[in-house]
Amino acid sequence: MRGLLDSFFPPLTAMKRSRPEELLYWIEDRPPPLTTLALAAQHTLLALMFCIYAVIAGQGTGLAGGQLVSFVSTTIFMVGLVTLMHALRTRFTTGMLLVAVPSPVLMGVYIAVTINYGLSATMGALILANLCVFLFGRLLPRLRPFFPPEVVGVVVLSLGLSMIAGGASRASGLTQGGTALLPALTAGVTLLAIVLITIWGGRRLRVMAVLIGACCGMAVALLTGQVVAAPAQAAAPLFALPLVGLDLPLPTFVTFAVVPVLLVELISAVDGLANALTFDKLNDARWRRADMAMAGRAVNTTAMGCVLCGVLGCLAVGTSTANIGLARATGATARRIGLVAGAMLMVLACLPPVSAVIVRTPDAVIGGILLYTAAYMIVAGMDLSLSRLLDSRRSFTIGLSVVAGGAVLLLPQLVQSAPEWSRPITGSGLAVAAVTAILLNILLRIGVKQTARTTLTDVDAARAATEFLEHHGKLWGARRDVVARAGMAVGEAVETLWHAELCRGPVELVVSFDEFNLRCVLLYDGEPLRLGPTAAPNLAAALEGDDDAMEAAMRQVSAQLIGRLADRVQAGREGGRAVLRLNFDH
């Protein structure tokens, strides 16, 4: 039994990391108690700000008054619990300062499934989908070919587009029965404050831009009389356990409710994987290779929390990119901050007035925040989609997926002719765009070989190698910067081999690619390239010496340049031919 547990969830091992100079408090450091409280309070406030997504989800499913307050309190409790779980150091959890927030990616699908199939089906879908994510969390990195940046970018872009209608209607007062000047003014102040602070604020101020913008919008709403307490919210008790007295149905498992939730949760897990790797890189000054074991535990931890969210019927959670930015800005990544922040959130969940304040956030303020979020996600999605080299396959994948999702958003009547059971998917522009992108990515990969070879002669060999790599980089969807480095390294290597007269005849270039590595192998008749010592050559001594000394120094410079461009370099002999292997992490 122990062996089976170790095979699925290996024991925790210490990862060798080099402490970055800019971090005041590293992962296992113990900040002073008051400092820990202050830093945890900042993360708590930022996480509470994103609980507005829980308000939108609750309102979208028809909750109001005390039910909505209870729904938000339960979500806050789960946000705190998952944050606390991430900060614990076990074989199942990360031991990192990864703060949870309600998932904006799931918000639209949560509403659609609840409206069409009821809360019990949503609960069952969340439980089953996240059990699948948990069981296959360790395999998630190997699913990267099915969720490349262009697919994730389409999802993020579509999420931003889907927020426009809700944000604009709240900002203009349409949710109150007609357009009004005061809601537009409030939303404008909220959005303007966020934009101004994001552009001209200091590093620590920028990560709190949404919170400060919401406070500015709330101040305008209070001054103009737009905040009115509902009786049920005004009578909320000072203390109440969020999990006691919940009138929840038993979970049911409906296939057509599970499918869209599983799809969105897989994409959210990929995003969580990226957040974990970002945090891993933040904590290692000499970062060279991703800690995939830690990233897998991050996915599993969030999935465990989301299973509990399904049991409690609240909106699922994910890790917060904004809180990673806050950790970077404050120079504090100590996991004890996460322990305290999680505990703070769980305590605040027991104070209904806190949830009532979030619920009473004026629609205009929420509208301003949604418009900012929509703009941010649209640009982030475009950046993700275009981060890889594009060919016609990827262009069609991105373009047709956005068109499909946009058609559903712009023409809701298209959904009316769809079967009732398909409404959670066909009625969501986000789900349609995601399904289209995944299917097109799989179909259009057919016929693309992951290995290519060519022969380089001494005539424009560097240019030919660069063009060859760029052509196949587009077919494979490799990152632009990695392909550029590979082109420079291969070009430098070929020129060095010929100028040093180490090769006789043409050089065969074999290139292979997966989502983790770009490998370039140079095969030729001649002598292997001497990679030489890591110390810089003494050019002054070479200038004073003979031609052989200068030639040796230049070869050493070239070898060092190749070593810096490639992540790993190996020279030797294979099958009677000299070989130079260049590996580039992707």
CA distance 359 to 57: 11
Lowest mean pLDDT among 41-45, 477-481, 557-561: 557-561
Q: What is the pLDDT of residue 415?
A: 79
Radius of gyration for the chain, computed over Cα atoms and rounded to the nearest angstrom: 27
Q: How sure is the predictor about 228, in pLDDT bands with cuts at 50, 70 and 90?
A: low
- Assess whether pLDDT exceeds 90 at residue 492: no
- Assess whether pLDDT exceeds 60 at residue 541: no
> Per residue in 160-184, pLDDT tens?
999 999 899 999 887 665 557 889 9
Backbone angles phi, psi at 320, to 5 degrees: -100, 120
The CATH number of the structural domain formed by 451-585 is 3.30.565.10
- Assess whether pLDDT exceeds 70 at residue 552: no
Q: What is the pLDDT of residue 33?
A: 93
Distance of CA 183 to the CA centre of its chain: 33
For residues 184 and 325, the answer to whether their CB atoms sit within 8 Å is: no
Q: What is the pLDDT of residue 148?
A: 84
Q: What is the pLDDT of residue 188?
A: 95
DSSP annotation of 15 reads P
101 vs 535, more confident = 101
Q: What is the pLDDT of residue 514?
A: 81
- Assess whether pLDDT exceeds 90 at residue 535: no
Q: Which helix (H) or strand (E) holds 112?
A: helix 104-117
Q: What is the pLDDT of residue 12?
A: 64
Which tokens hold the place of 270?
């990929």
Mean pLDDT over residues 436-455, rounded? 86
Mean pLDDT, the chain, whole residue set: 86
What does each C-alpha distance from 201 to 194, 331, 337, 526, 547 come to in angstroms? 10, 17, 24, 59, 57
What does each C-alpha distance from 369 to 211, 223, 559 come to in angstroms? 9, 19, 52
Q: How sure is the predictor about 563, in pLDDT bands with cuts at 50, 70 and 90?
A: confident
Q: Which of 241, 302, 242, 313 lies closest to 270 in space, CA to CA?
A: 302
Mean pLDDT over residues 456-477, rounded? 84
E strands of 230-357, at which residues? Answer: 317-319
233 vs 250, more confident = 250
Q: For a pLDDT cut of 90, what percent of the chain falls above it?
A: 41
Q: Which of 193, 289, 223, 244 lies closest to 70 in space, CA to CA?
A: 244
- Assess whether pLDDT exceeds 80 at residue 515: no
| Per-residue b or e along 282-315, where b marks 16 or more CB atoms closer than 10 Å to that residue's CB | bbbeeeeebbbbbbbbbbbbbbbbbbbbbebbbb
Q: How sure is the predictor about 211, in pLDDT bands with cuts at 50, 70 and 90?
A: confident
- Assess whether pLDDT exceeds 90 at residue 521: yes
Q: How sure is the predictor about 226, in pLDDT bands with cuts at 50, 70 and 90?
A: confident
Domain extent listing, the chain: 33-444, 451-585
Which tokens hold the place of 406?
């946009």
pTM comes to 0.79
Q: What is the pLDDT of residue 13?
A: 64
- Assess whether pLDDT exceeds 80 at residue 82: yes
Q: What is the pLDDT of residue 239?
A: 81
Mean pLDDT over residues 524-550, rounded? 63
For residues 79 and 52, the answer to whether their CB atoms sit within 8 Å is: no
Q: What is the pLDDT of residue 308?
A: 96
For residues 419 and 194, the answer to whether their CB atoms sit within 8 Å is: no
DSSP string computed for 26-53 = -TT----HHHHHHHHHHHHHHHHHTTHH
- Assess whether pLDDT exceeds 80 at residue 136: no
